[in-house]
Chains A and B, each alone.
Chain A
């Protein structure tokens, strides 16, 4: 019999390189805030964050905290361990954010069994910190 290999530790989340444009999104969780780029001229939202408003091309844009709630637009239950040690299955979803029309976040739905997550479920952000990045994950809210 060959020796049983120890299970590899769970992988870290792949991390973005922070810059002036994406930092408010990836670090807002340190204050419990979900920041989305908002235009102070036309009032529209731009995501992913950019230096210019994607609706009116204004430079008068900046991070604005949204409610952090939303609705599951679509999802997939992932069964493939793309990285060594990745625990499966888990839910990858697109969440439509309340208060920021047109913005969708790819995220994970945590805190529920995978088969308890469905389209149109209401969800709320919960942050997971790792090496100075606050990853916005979502969990189901009742009602």
Chain B
């Protein structure tokens, strides 16, 4: 067998992030692709792979309006490898699979993208018909009949159990949203979401969605495209950016269900990530953890061994440890709660900006070299270990 080739992030890009944007989904996608290509210093004739999550979903265009085919056609890419897949362990697994394609020599430069259009689609139902189903099927048939329609209702039950079993308080949970707000305010791409400072009092008095989650514990529908370009280790002389190595990837699933498992899938994904690398949690300079709901980052801290299981809420208590100048800066661009529901790819984007010192006002101090980016919740979990080494 030939030697495996290392995969590196060599370019990142992000379109305008907005709520009810009028620019088309393909327009946003091209904005992000052009920015990432410029970041990397690549041209389309050098790109030979395209990846996305989950691929175009014609019955649910707000959720995923653009497929790999449109990018291949629009950009004139001669692809040797491409993939748009939903049956993978969460959003960032699209990047993990692209890294595997590079490692095995199937492509040299891959555009990975995730375009979301959920806010705009809801505001233009004639153009983007909402998903209307006579029946619920698949996994949702076991939850939706009980009006547990949003993932908020499913995740809230895991969060409530953490409160009951380990003593998590709403004041501790609030640190995720407060931290997201502070970093969102420092992120120019988050202006549509984080508009003014959030206080603990405002958080505690906010409208409840489903206990223990209030409005500020939930991310918000957004219109945006985020792009990550991967390149092969033996093609780095073709790029002009500072490469960031994909040091390890993981995505473990033990039950494909939102309600049967005792633990969400990230608790198996965490140990699986560390089994594939010599890096350890103490080596990590910043973490970018999926926060579709505020409880998720607390579970990722536990799952990845930054603290013991049942200690995540105490780890973030007071918010200083996870602040941008703290010992483990969390969601330094605001995450999805502070910067919008970019659906997973935003965490890889922010990790790379921090490791390559392109994060501007929100750049963390020191010389960050190692980051973890994660996506997913419930039965879906993906983790990327990124290293500038």
In the complex, which of the residues B134, B139, B142 has the most CB atoms of chain A within 10 Å of its own CB atom? Answer: B142
Query: Counting CB contacts under 8 A, is B74 at the interface?
Result: no
Query: Counting CB contacts under 8 A, is A104 at the interface?
Result: yes
* Known A-B contacts A47-B260, A78-B153; A107 and B146 likewise in contact (beta carbons under 8 Å): yes
The reply to whether A15 and B153 form a contact with Cβ atoms under 8 Å apart is: no
Query: Counting CB contacts under 8 A, is A93 at the interface?
Result: yes
The reply to whether A92 and B157 form a contact with Cβ atoms under 8 Å apart is: yes
Report the bound CA distance from A48 to B147 in whole Å: 18
Interface residues of B in 291-337 (CB under 8 A from A): none
Query: Counting CB contacts under 8 A, is B195 at the interface?
Result: no
The reply to whether B210 and A106 form a contact with Cβ atoms under 8 Å apart is: no
A73 contacts which chain B residues (CB < 8 A)? 161
Majority DSSP secondary structure for residues of A touching B:
strand
The reply to whether B149 and A83 form a contact with Cβ atoms under 8 Å apart is: yes
Of B137, B140, B210, the contact of A76 (CB 8 Å cutoff): B210
In the complex, number of A-B residue pairs with CB atoms less than 8 Å apart: 101
Query: Counting CB contacts under 8 A, is A58 at the interface?
Result: no
In the complex, which of the residues B141, B145, B161, B211 has the most CB atoms of chain A within 10 Å of its own CB atom? Answer: B145
Query: Counting CB contacts under 8 A, is A4 at the interface?
Result: no
A82 contacts which chain B residues (CB < 8 A)? 147, 149-150
Of A13, A77, A79, the contact of B146 (CB 8 Å cutoff): A13
Report the bound CA distance from A133 to B146 in whole Å: 13
The reply to whether B259 and A94 form a contact with Cβ atoms under 8 Å apart is: yes
Query: Counting CB contacts under 8 A, is B144 at the interface?
Result: yes
Shortest CB distance B156–A (Å): 4
Shortest CB distance A89–B (Å): 8
A contacts with B, residue count (CB < 8 A): 34
Q: Which residue of B lies closest to A47 (CB)?
A: B260
Q: Which residue of B lies closest to A54 (CB)?
A: B255
Report the bound CA distance from A77 to B147 in whole Å: 12
The reply to whether A14 and B136 form a contact with Cβ atoms under 8 Å apart is: yes
The reply to whether A135 and B146 form a contact with Cβ atoms under 8 Å apart is: yes
User: 1/0 contact trace for B246-267 toward A, CB 8 Å?
Assistant: 0000000000010110000000
Query: Counting CB contacts under 8 A, is A16 at the interface?
Result: yes
Query: Counting CB contacts under 8 A, is B143 at the interface?
Result: yes
Query: Counting CB contacts under 8 A, is A86 at the interface?
Result: yes
Shortest CB distance B166–A (Å): 13
Query: Counting CB contacts under 8 A, is A75 at the interface?
Result: yes
B158 contacts which chain A residues (CB < 8 A)? 74
A135 contacts which chain B residues (CB < 8 A)? 145-146
Query: Counting CB contacts under 8 A, is A108 at the interface?
Result: yes
6 smallest beta-carbon distances between A and B, as pairs: A17-B135, A76-B156, A16-B141, A14-B144, A74-B161, A79-B208
26 A–B contacts from the bound complex (CB under 8 Å): A13-B146, A13-B147, A14-B140, A14-B145, A16-B135, A16-B141, A17-B135, A17-B137, A22-B141, A48-B142, A73-B161, A74-B164, A76-B157, A76-B210, A76-B212, A77-B211, A79-B207, A79-B210, A80-B209, A83-B147, A92-B146, A92-B157, A92-B210, A104-B260, A106-B154, A119-B164
Given A78-B148, A78-B210, 13 new contacts (CB under 8 A)? A14-B136, A14-B144, A14-B149, A16-B135, A17-B137, A48-B257, A78-B153, A80-B152, A86-B147, A90-B147, A104-B259, A107-B146, A108-B147
Spell out B's residues near A (CB within 8 Å): 134-137, 139-150, 152-154, 156-158, 160-161, 164, 207-212, 257, 259-260
Spell out A's residues near B (CB within 8 Å): 13-17, 22, 47-48, 73-80, 82-83, 86, 90, 92-94, 102-108, 119, 133, 135, 137
